[in-house]
Amino acid sequence: MTDPKWAVATERGRYYTDPAGGPDLISVTNALSSIAKPALVPWAAGMTADAVIADPIVTARRARTEPTALRKELVAVSRLYTERAQDLGTRVHLRAVALVLNTPHPYDPEVEAYAVQLAAWFRLWRVDFERDVEAVETTVMHRRYGYAGTGDLWLWLPTGRFRRRQLWLIDYKTSAKKPADTVYDEQPLQLAGLRHAPEWLLPDDTSEAAPRVHRTALLNLRPRSHRFIEVPSGRAQFRAFLGAMRTARYLHSAPGSYPTVLPPWAPGAPERKAA
């Protein structure tokens, strides 16, 4: 994921500033952070276990000599891996933009394997960038519901009846280890939020009606493979997204603590005023 122009990192996650001066808009991905992800707990535990197994002798020695430092490092293993994966995803997205727009981009050996797969997908679909690309890395907004997000690629493909062209909203997903057919529960909701936003921002920071998207998909990029997977993003997914968004907004504004209730005769209880 890249850093869009109007995106702002806050203590509550990413928000967007409305260039027209309206209230801040919660980002699509930030809204979806309110959804529980039970698979993350065993995944994080597995990452920590892998770190121990990779060097058990040194780990055992450090457990005796510097347990506090070792514990701190082991707790951070999954977070550091996530940060590296996010950084790789950002670099792949930037490379994808350069590929579509045919602009210079510095060579990055870790990223090139993904770029090769993306280029292969474009060739497979016989994509003509001038003719078929509607937009790249464009921010959409839904002021009524108070959210915004940035889509990766709007692309016309001959997938309709009699090869009629349809507009696809495509989200790149990168991973070095996950299978190419991986789809997470929240990803259809993410695309639904982007698809149903009625406006998008232009380069001069004004907005206009976003084009009607016919279909949505993930383009999973791996170092040696890729997979183009259509995911639903209809009214049911949009309603679910709005529910997650409302939950996230509530959690972001909820108080951090609540008062303790004591009986009137307990020390420290507030005195009741006479009627």
pLDDT of 78 strictly over 90 = no
Mean pLDDT of the chain: 93
pLDDT of 121 strictly over 70 = yes
Tokens linked to 167 = 């507009």
| pTM exceeding 0.95 | no
Distance separating alpha carbons of residues 74 and 81, to the nearest angstrom: 11
Question: In which band, very low, low, confident or very high, does the pLDDT at 120 lie, cut at 50, 70 and 90?
Answer: very high
pLDDT of 1 strictly over 60 = no
Tokens linked to 183 = 């789809």
Question: In which band, very low, low, confident or very high, does the pLDDT at 36 lie, cut at 50, 70 and 90?
Answer: confident
pLDDT of 263 strictly over 70 = yes
Q: What is the pLDDT of residue 42?
A: 83
Task: Provide the angle, in degrees to the nearest 10, between the axes of the packed helices 77-101 and 109-124.
Answer: 50
pLDDT of 24 strictly over 70 = yes
Q: What is the pLDDT of residue 163?
A: 96
Among the listed ranges 24-38, 101-115, 182-196, which one has the minimum average pLDDT value?
A: 24-38
Continuous H helices in the chain: 28-32, 40-54, 56-65, 67-75, 77-101, 109-124, 129-132, 187-195, 235-253
Question: In which band, very low, low, confident or very high, does the pLDDT at 151 lie, cut at 50, 70 and 90?
Answer: very high
